[in-house]
Amino acid sequence: MIGVTVLNGRTVKCALTSTEGMTLFEARADNTVEVLHAVPPFDKPGFAKGLLNDVRAIFLRPPGTPVCGTLADGRRTCRFRQQDGKLTDILPDPDAGKCFRIITWSADHRQTRIITAKDCRLQNEYRQARSLTLNSPGTKGYTLKMSLLQAEQLSPPGE
């Protein structure tokens, strides 16, 4: 599958297409999730919300107030704490050079998502990963492996 993601502030639009170009799923989210198109099995309850939460975890700054510090080896790390007790840690990945790992935690201290970036480079002052692995542990867990094909930063309206 090929995934297309468009971010505009906190609004996320995403689509999944087959390699032949057939749209299998399309949705947008800001405060609510709106499914624009979904074919089975992508029309299952909860799929859209889960996918958009994964996309937000990958591409948007975590909600909450960050507390940042430096590890003993000099690498920077940040923890974002939400009012409901959920946490997001952004850590340097010691096995991947200049890449990072994002770990999200539930309010009862269970890992809910682990995102590992590989083959990172600096692009427009941001660290950009050429590939990502998202692992959602648990009984209904899953793993997504993604490779970046293309990224574009569009100019804001009026520029």
155 — pLDDT class (breaks 50, 70, 90): low
pLDDT at 31 over 90: no
Tokens standing for residue 132: 């990502």
Per-residue model confidence as pLDDT tens digits over 55-91: 888 888 898 889 999 888 787 899 999 999 999 999 9
Distance of CA 74 to the CA centre of its chain: 26
DSSP string, 102-123: EEEE-TTS-EEEEEEEEEEEEE
Please name the helix (run of DSSP H) or strand (run of DSSP E) that holds residue 47, with its range, or none. Answer: helix 47-59
Tokens standing for residue 55: 């996309």
| Mean pLDDT across 99-108 | 93
DSSP string, 54-87: HHHHHHSPPSSEEEEEE-TTS-EEEEEE-TTS-E
Percentage of the chain lying above the pLDDT 90 cut:
46
pLDDT at 150 over 80: no
- The model's pTM is 0.82
Percentage of the chain lying above the pLDDT 70 cut:
93
95 — pLDDT class (breaks 50, 70, 90): low
Q: State the residue for tokens 């000099």.
A: 74
